[in-house]
Amino acid sequence: MQHTISKTLSETCTGVLKDLYQLEVESIEWQATRKEFAGDLTLVVFPYLKASRKKPEDTAQEIGTLLQERHAEVKAFNVVKGFLNISISDSYWQAVLHGIQDLENYGKGESLGRTTLVEYSSPNTNKPLHLGHIRNNLLGYSVAEILSAAGHTVKKVQIINDRGIHICKSMVAWQHFAEGETPETSGLKGDHLVGKYYVAFDKAYKEQIAQLMAEGKTEEEAKEHAPIFQEAREMLLKWEQGDAAVVALWQKMNAWVYAGFDASYRRLGVNFDKNYYESETYLLGKKIVEEGVAKGVFFKKEDGSVWCDLEAEKLGEKLLLRRDGTSVYMTQDIGTAIQRYEDFGIDGMIYTVGNEQDYHFQVLFAILKKLGYAWAENLYHLSYGMVDLPSGKMKSREGTVVDADDLMEQMISTAQKISEDLGKTDGLSEAEKNATHEMIGLGALKYFILKVDPRKRMLFNPEESIDFQGNTGPFIQYTHARIKSLLRKAGQMSIPNTGVYQSLAGIERDLIKQILNFPSIIQQAAADHAPSLIANYVYDLVKTYNGFYQQLAILNDENPAAVHFRIDLSRKTAAVVSSAMRLLGITVPEQM
């Protein structure tokens, strides 16, 4: 509960505590009064008992009495054990609701003058995106939106792992088996085409291993000496030497993949301000490390390898440069971080990466701090759990990977089927219908994933997981569409403007309070990097609205003042629903 009322109430309350008990308190914690009790805000008085030396009930009674005397908006209070429940006057709630005028920007924070960079997605270029990437993309994009709403200047980036043995495997297999196949000739999306040859490589590789083992080699020898694997390694070497033919093939196949990724990103509704490519950044960081050695932050072992001592942080020793002077992943990440600082002048950075890299980022952040960068204090690893299937982990080798494009398509066609069965979009054009089905199908998927705490691994059952009823994206979208329908109808009515709506119904007060909570929810979600807070908030809001809708006549009430008020309340609810959903990357329809 962070309404403006709690601020003024806190000031009054501080004075009350001082006058009653000579108690100086820093801040006062208000919480929303639970539904089963009367009141709006609750003060827990247990912390003040030592000072008051009275029973909880008497203490609460005393504080309540003075609060009511001194604060005009306190209409009434009641005491239950050590809980002081305070009721705020209806006129206050109505006035604050009325004060919300800029619906488009309601809830957003003042500019903080801070630039925060959010990295997400960051795929390899040897295969298409899958369900794990979807969780990553949705989280990263949403956190970026939330930070932006909270007042940060946000830059969204990804680092594309476009070089290395994995893409060479696809390249080798394509040379052997593709007979010149391209996205155009095959009709396959580019990333899927390249993925197909990555699978083909693996198949051929396994066959060769089996053959060599049949000839008496050990498994390790076989893996090492399989001809196709040797070819991939040679290709990697040639790439590093800048061999023209290899580089040309590499560029051609990566271009296919990027075209495919672009299509997936566009459909998913995510975007980036800048792409980084490992082929351009993998040599970064070496210079920084050398400088670190000179400064004594890092040290060199006898064999020439460079390390960072993080025993004090309980992270052990970490290699930064190999014996032969080449860099490792960590070196590269150090260089990239600094590169980004130079590109954007960032104040902080968020890495959206799976939790299997928790240790890596602890080390990275510790090293950047050791190097003395101010922005290193504001680095955050947005770590998320794996997405499991009923059969267990997703494994590309066993073909149990849920493909991102397939999944989106499936969601959308499910939405279409349900929508057509209900027949509520009959008046729309084909293009409008398609847009609506996309909106609903993707809304279901996005909400399903974002409502869960990122740290938790989640189970995804393709058949059962995603509902369109209950605590779901479509439920929230439906409420929005229904409000919009109501408002369209209201627009055609002429309602005499007579006086002020007097007494609020309980559900109306609840709705106002929830709308007023939106700004603080955004701040909290930003501070916690937690889209799930937004998801839970908007769900609760919509549930309350549906109760309101059911209990009260909105357009048909005999009191015109009530009608005016309820239309205003409905319009503002719809605006908050739309804004909140947009923070999750979900759009809401006018009709569905």
Partner RNA sequence: GGCCUUGUAGCUCAACUGGAUAGAGUACUUGACUACGAAUCAAGCGGUUGAAGGUUCGACUCCUUCCAAGGUCACCA
Q: How far is the CB of 21 from RNA (least distance, A)?
A: 16
**Residue of 197, 229, 375, 475 that binds RNA (CB under 7 A):** 475
CB 48 within 8 A of CB 59: yes
Q: What DSSP character marks residue 38?
A: S
Using the rule CB under 7 A, give the single segment among 17-25, 236-244, 246-254, 316-324 that binds RNA.
Answer: 316-324
Q: How far is the CB of 235 from RNA (least distance, A)?
A: 16
Within 144-203, the residues that bind RNA by CB under 7 A are 161, 164
The single-letter code of the amino acid at 199 is V
Q: What angle do CA 531, 535, 540 make, to 5 degrees?
A: 145
Closest Cα partner for 444 from 422, 417, 421, 465? 465
Q: What angle do CA 435, 480, 527 make, to 5 degrees?
A: 100
- Using CB under 7 A as the binding rule, whether residue 76 contacts RNA is answered as no
Q: Which is nearer to RNA, 191 or 438 (CB)?
A: 438
Q: Which is nearer to RNA, 176 or 369 (CB)?
A: 369
**Residue of 73, 119, 231, 278 that binds RNA (CB under 7 A):** 278
- Using CB under 7 A as the binding rule, whether residue 533 contacts RNA is answered as yes
239 Cβ neighbours under 8 A, 6+ residues apart: 163, 168, 246, 247, 250
Distance CA 385, CA 369 (A): 26
- Using CB under 7 A as the binding rule, whether residue 560 contacts RNA is answered as no
- Using CB under 7 A as the binding rule, whether residue 27 contacts RNA is answered as no
- Using CB under 7 A as the binding rule, whether residue 70 contacts RNA is answered as no
Q: How far is the CB of 497 from RNA (least distance, A)?
A: 18
- Distances in whole angstroms, Cα of residue 433 to Cα of each of 103, 441, 469: 27, 12, 20
Six token digits for residue 425 = 């979009």
- Using CB under 7 A as the binding rule, whether residue 329 contacts RNA is answered as yes
> Exposed/middle/buried for 431, CB within 10 Å: 0-12, 13-18, 19+?
exposed
Q: Which is nearer to RNA, 269 or 385 (CB)?
A: 385
- Using CB under 7 A as the binding rule, whether residue 550 contacts RNA is answered as yes
Q: Which is nearer to RNA, 178 or 555 (CB)?
A: 555
- Distances in whole angstroms, Cα of residue 467 to Cα of each of 188, 408, 418, 448: 30, 14, 11, 9
- Using CB under 7 A as the binding rule, whether residue 536 contacts RNA is answered as yes
- Using CB under 7 A as the binding rule, whether residue 29 contacts RNA is answered as yes
Within 417-436, the residues that bind RNA by CB under 7 A are 418-419, 422, 424-425
**Residue of 369, 555, 568, 571 that binds RNA (CB under 7 A):** 555
Using the rule CB under 7 A, give the single segment among 109-117, 189-197, 323-331, 402-410 that binds RNA.
Answer: 323-331
**Residue of 552, 559, 560, 571 that binds RNA (CB under 7 A):** 552
Using the rule CB under 7 A, give the single segment among 75-83, 184-192, 266-274, 401-409 that binds RNA.
Answer: 75-83
- Using CB under 7 A as the binding rule, whether residue 339 contacts RNA is answered as no
- Using CB under 7 A as the binding rule, whether residue 572 contacts RNA is answered as no
Q: Which is nearer to RNA, 226 or 574 (CB)?
A: 574
Q: Which is nearer to RNA, 151 or 547 (CB)?
A: 547
**Residue of 54, 433, 509, 543 that binds RNA (CB under 7 A):** 543
Q: How far is the CB of 45 from RNA (least distance, A)?
A: 8
CB 106 within 8 A of CB 575: yes
Distance CA 522, CA 102 (A): 17
Q: What DSSP character marks residue 574?
A: H
**Residue of 291, 358, 377, 409 that binds RNA (CB under 7 A):** 358
Question: Order of strands, edge to edge, in the sheet holding 83-88?
Answer: 30-32, 41-44, 83-88, 74-80
The single-letter code of the amino acid at 373 is Y
Q: How far is the CB of 552 from RNA (least distance, A)?
A: 6
- Distances in whole angstroms, Cα of residue 512 to Cα of each of 40, 262, 553, 556: 11, 41, 17, 21
Q: How far is the CB of 179 from RNA (least distance, A)?
A: 30
**Residue of 99, 180, 470, 496 that binds RNA (CB under 7 A):** 470
The dihedral through the CA atoms of 58, 61, 63, 66 has a sign that is: negative
- Distances in whole angstroms, Cα of residue 515 to Cα of each of 25, 98, 432, 541: 29, 12, 30, 7
- Using CB under 7 A as the binding rule, whether residue 385 contacts RNA is answered as yes
Using the rule CB under 7 A, give the single segment among 171-179, 191-199, 225-233, 476-484 that binds RNA.
Answer: 476-484
Q: How far is the CB of 50 from RNA (least distance, A)?
A: 8
Distance CA 195, CA 203 (A): 13
- Using CB under 7 A as the binding rule, whether residue 509 contacts RNA is answered as no
**Dihedral angle of Cα 88, 90, 96, 98, to the nearest 10 degrees:** 180
Helix or strand or coil: residue 268?
helix
Number of residues in contact with RNA, rule: CB under 7 A?
A: 91
**Dihedral angle of Cα 73, 75, 80, 84, to the nearest 10 degrees:** 20
- Write out the H or E segment, with its range, that includes residue 515: helix 506-528
Distance CA 157, CA 336 (A): 12
Q: Which is nearer to RNA, 299 or 329 (CB)?
A: 329
- Using CB under 7 A as the binding rule, whether residue 561 contacts RNA is answered as no
Distance CA 590, CA 576 (A): 14
- Using CB under 7 A as the binding rule, whether residue 300 contacts RNA is answered as no
Within 224-263, the residues that bind RNA by CB under 7 A are none
- Using CB under 7 A as the binding rule, whether residue 386 contacts RNA is answered as yes
CB 191 within 8 A of CB 167: no
Q: What DSSP character marks residue 504?
A: P
**Residue of 89, 182, 339, 546 that binds RNA (CB under 7 A):** 546
Within 34-63, the residues that bind RNA by CB under 7 A are 34, 36-37, 39, 42, 44, 46-47
- Using CB under 7 A as the binding rule, whether residue 299 contacts RNA is answered as no
Q: How far is the CB of 180 from RNA (least distance, A)?
A: 29
Using the rule CB under 7 A, give the single segment among 132-140, 220-228, 338-346, 547-555 that binds RNA.
Answer: 547-555
- Using CB under 7 A as the binding rule, whether residue 355 contacts RNA is answered as yes
